Structure 1
Amino acid sequence: MFKRIILIVMDSVGIGHATDAGLFGDEGANTIGHIEAVGGTLRCPTLKRLGLAQIADIQRDEEAVTGLFGRLHEISKGKDTTSGHWELLGHPVDVPFPTFYEGFPQEVMEAFTRETGYGYLGNEVASGTEIIERLGAEHLKTGKPIVYTSADSVFQIAAHEDVIPLDELYRICKITREKVCIGDYYVGRIIARPFVGELGHFKRTSNRHDYSRMPEKTLYWEILQQHNLQTIGVGKIGDIYAKVGISESYPTKSNAHGMNEAARLLGGQFKEGLMMINLVEFDSLYGHRRNVAGYKRALEDFDYQLGGFLDLLEADDLLLITADHGNDPTWTGTDHTRELVPLLGYWKGLTNPIALGDRSTFADVGQTMLANFGLVGDVGTSFLDYIAQAKS
């Protein structure tokens, strides 16, 4: 039906607490609704034209809706990036990844020191920006990397690029992935968190790199790849899926860079298959930092780029837009929130609204993409029939 499918993941753009949010302490969370309630009306006419205001608690525009829209429920047992993305491609996470709310056990840190050859600072639950300011002076003096975690299943390693060069930081992370965080400590991601600047003025850079755990089940990427379809990841997609089933990976520096890279690929080497784009700044710069104004501005900037991106679509392109979890910037703490996520869709020639209602798993997205190419996966229910009816 379509030759090319473009899937944009607005990292952390939730649209209201999930039915099981109480299990996560997130009942009442509402990322996009609270951004508008606190920060003022969201100026995102393109997203609203696709149906965002029909499924989220934001003000509706008078312009007619000409998009596909619905809400996705998550069945994975976590509210982290890996769980959300994996479920989208047919791999729900049935057993939560291990988390360490009091830092990592001594045996893990002893293994870290033994295997990497480095001591460490920190080893605590912390905000990344806060901990580098607090421990940065000691890091500059001792050369020891800063280790921290969060409510997510992550082992984060921060280092000043002038103290531990990028290649060395990446080597430390790779060793931690392969030899330290194993067995009962097999966390979802090891994350390199490089920073630059002077004492009191440190700034994290875009040279972050994630080392994901390996999937235990078949990802829908692999099914597409086995049938000679292109599988392209833009942004941190390659890292999230540990490059499994992904033939081409294009890291990016920002949301805007991600959209520009997607546009470049759309106009050139992307011919047939799936291109998936992660826009991480909603989450990393604004959600975790509880920055309502910044999050609102980022949504509006994305909406502006999206308007131009729609004009690049051809007759055999399907655009889908969703998220992987919530991160309400008005919520307590600094972590993700368990929320429903939006599902928006568009193709050239669509003139009427298509309401999909509530979908029982993120994997409906992946199953629909497979169905488009005459394939089928184990998890999810395709909504391709809704699209076919609208096109006929």
Structure 2
Amino acid sequence: MMGNAYVVVIDGLGVGAQEDAHQYGDEEMNTLGHVLEQTGVKLPNLQKMGLGNIIPLASVPENENPLAAYGKLREVSAGKDSTTGHWEIAGIQLEKPFPTYPNGFPQHVIDDFCDEIGVEGALCNKPYSGTDVIRDYGVEHMETGFPIVYTSADSVFQVACHNDIVPIEQLYEWCEFVRNEICVGEHEVGRVIARPFTGKPGEFQRISDKRHDYSSAPPENNLVQKLYDSGIKTYSIGKVADLFAGKGFTQYRPTKSNAEGISQLLSLMSAELNNSFVFVNLIDTDQLYGHRLDPKGYAGSLEEFDRAIPAIVSKIRKDDLLIITGDHGNDPCSNSTDHSREFVPLLVFPKERAKSEDLETGETFSEIAKSVAAYFNLENDFPGTSFVK
């Protein structure tokens, strides 16, 4: 039986501004570098893997004999959001970015949404922090029953509702309608997101594990679908399946936290899988800390993953492949709560599977798709060059 390939995406983990970062206003961004410089956090297990060999890091030195091959990858798709990043990892390159709405959605889009769900209006309709928007509009929402609609720097149509006012299943139905009928054509956003919340005024809390993302459907010629169609079992841990509209996965394992994501990964690795592909997203670095400009929290999340490295590595069998990477940057040491246009790290274990120990800078995130397909001996035309032997 063939071994298994594991791709672990640490959400929002960038390693320095790309050459085109000025086009996104991100010239000074360096998520990992700045977090380590500001917090001094030690990551001994990732240091052994070779994390400090990718770029100079204040508290993670180089390793003369790293356990993994190391490098970084460049994003070529237009955009810097999770959908774009994960799609490029899977071999899809977007020439045109998903639409964004820095001034809110056109009124006819809001009107069409409200007409369908039977309300007279929607609240907010502008870019907003997810925690701030329920604080500022939650009371009015409870008084009127009007949904809170907001966006961000990403291509997202987000709907927040209190679960006592709009049952969660109804919120899901509304968002499915938006995905299929409203946000189409020129308004085809990357994701429609249901954001339920609970609690009393002044104590509102998002119900994070009931969040649901409705992604734009990816082109069928992507790594996940290709593996699935070839009879290889495909597993999603975290929000990955949401980003691919649920297409091409044998099994989904949603998670509430990075700790649960790591636990699910270790559980699958202990299940004697063969001929399987496991695609993992660890979201806390991005959702809880990057967007909230919390470098200490970000560092703590990296430490949590670092502590899991020995257990993960111990379960990699002779024929397996482990790839650790990111999907974009999200520098909590900056003044921006948005994603950032950065290179992402690349660690490949065991390093003997890689063509060289120093993989330098790959030309596209899609080199992961190219390499995983090559690992499974599948013919493919994914962009870039395979870094596996």
Q: Is TM > 0.5 for Structure 1 vs Structure 2? A: yes
2:231 — aligned with what? 228
Which stretch shows the higher mean deviation, 80-89 or 370-379? Answer: 370-379
Deviation at 1:60, TM superposition (A): 3.4
1:380 to 2:381 alignment = no
1:320 to 2:323 alignment = yes
Which stretch shows the higher mean deviation, 363-372 or 63-72? Answer: 63-72
Query: Is the 1:116–1:175 Cα contact (8 Å) retained in structure 2?
Result: no
Q: Deviations over 1:188-234 (max 9, x none)?
A: 00011112222112121221110000123511112111211111111
Q: Secondary structure at the residue paired with 1:277?
A: strand
1:345 — aligned with what? 348
Taking structure 2 as the reference length, the TM-score comes to 0.95
Which of 197, 203, 206 matches 2:205?
203
Which stretch shows the higher mean deviation, 292-301 or 52-61? Answer: 52-61
Separation in structure 2 between the aligned mates of residue 8 and residue 62 of structure 1, nearest angstrom: 22
List gaps (5 residues or longer) in structure 2.
none
2:298 — aligned with what? 295
Deviation at 1:2, TM superposition (A): 5.6
Which of 117, 125, 145 matches 2:127?
125
Q: Secondary structure at the residue paired with 1:384?
A: coil
Deviation at 1:120, TM superposition (A): 1.5
1:8 — aligned with what? 8
In structure 2, give the amino acid aligned to 1:11. D
Matched ranges for 1:34-73 at <5 A:
34-39=34-39, 41-58=40-57, 59-61=59-61, 64-73=65-74
Q: Secondary structure at the residue paired with 1:233?
A: strand
> What number of residue pairs does the alignment pair up?
384
1:146 — aligned with what? 148
Deviation at 1:371, TM superposition (A): 0.4
Q: Secondary structure at the residue paired with 1:260?
A: helix
2:264 — aligned with what? 261
CA RMSD of aligned residues (A): 1.9
Separation in structure 2 between the aligned mates of residue 346 and residue 201 of structure 1, nearest angstrom: 45
1:389 — aligned with what? none
Separation in structure 1 between the aligned mates of residue 226 and residue 55 of structure 2, nearest angstrom: 33
List gaps (5 residues or longer) in structure 1.
386-392
Q: Deviations over 1:236-263 (max 9, x none)?
A: 1110011221121111111010110111
Matched ranges for 1:156-171 at <5 A:
156-171=158-173
Kindly, what percent of the aligned residue pairs are identical? 41
Taking structure 1 as the reference length, the TM-score comes to 0.94
Which stretch shows the higher mean deviation, 329-338 or 319-328? Answer: 329-338
In structure 2, give the amino acid aligned to 1:27. E
Q: Secondary structure at the residue paired with 2:302?
A: helix
Separation in structure 2 between the aligned mates of residue 294 and residue 229 of structure 1, nearest angstrom: 37
Separation in structure 2 between the aligned mates of residue 284 and residue 73 of structure 1, nearest angstrom: 22
Deviation at 1:291, TM superposition (A): 0.7
1:134 to 2:175 alignment = no
1:390 — aligned with what? none
Q: Deviations over 1:136-184 (max 9, x none)?
A: 1111212221110011100011112222121111111101101111111
Query: Is the 2:158–2:195 Cα contact (8 Å) retained in structure 1?
Result: yes
1:332 to 2:331 alignment = no
In structure 2, give the amino acid aligned to 1:216. P
Which stretch shows the higher mean deviation, 314-323 or 354-363? Answer: 314-323
Separation in structure 2 between the aligned mates of residue 163 and residue 304 of structure 1, nearest angstrom: 41
Query: Is the 1:314–1:348 Cα contact (8 Å) retained in structure 2?
Result: no
